[in-house]
Structure 1
């Protein structure tokens, strides 16, 4: 049997990466002379990282197979979109955080399944 912490390790890595991306995006948005201070792009990166963090928390709690698949697809789209936005903003540390988040998502794909499976007789 695996411990509850090890079965959620991918979602935890994703959460930490999202929060790190959020911190970097907040720094870039509010600190003068970062090149993106007060821009809409940096604000979008802040919102996207926050949403990714919320979805990582939801991924830890979800038990249904369909819900976890849907969340994983949405997280993958969010990671890709935030990575692309960070590249356009030249915020390389956000790009690194999104790659770490992708690693967390991949780890989450291999967590043990606890889904109710129908029995065929």
Structure 2
């Protein structure tokens, strides 16, 4: 049974937000006069957004409830930590991307489970 795109909207939002955060962090790290170019904090934001991207991709494939819950908790911690790091770096667009990622995570959390979708079709 294939999963319709509407049920994966939250995971897709999370993936896009983490990729946007990664792009912004890379820009801030490599561009002179951003105030954080070449700093350790910007590099940490890059790796955090990269980890969020990988976890968002894994979220598309998981099917077990325990694994899914664990992954969502790790993503939530990653979003909060990256948001805090972006605040300290004064990179407000990364903060915006993490809030959008949080909305995507919440949408993915409230989507119907695989068992519920199987019984309705």
| Aligned counterpart, 1:58 | 58
TM-score by length of 2: 0.92
* TM-score of the two chains, using structure 1 as the length reference: 0.92
Of Structure 1 and Structure 2, the greater helix share is in 2
User: What is the root-mean-square deviation of aligned Cα atoms in Å?
Assistant: 1.7
Which residue is equivalent to 1:73? Answer: 73
Measured in 2, the distance between the counterparts of 1:19 and 1:105 equals 14
**Aligned equivalents of 1:46 and 1:85: distance in 2?**
11
Q: Which whole-Å deviations, capped at 9, do the CAs of 1:48-80 have from their partners, x for residues lacking one?
A: 000001000100110000000000000000000
Secondary structure in 1 matching 2:38: coil
SS of equivalent residue, structure 1 residue 43 = helix
Q: 1:65 and 1:14 mapped to 2: Cα distance?
A: 19
**Aligned residue number for residue 99 of structure 2:** 99
In the alignment, structure 1 segments of 5+ residues that lack a partner are 117-121
Query: Which secondary structure does the structure 1 equivalent of 2:32 belong to?
Result: coil
Give the structure 1 partner of residue 110 of structure 2: 110
Gaps of 5+ in 2: 117-121
Match of 1:9 in 2: 9
Q: CA deviation at 1:6?
A: 1.1
- Size of the aligned set, in residue pairs, is 116
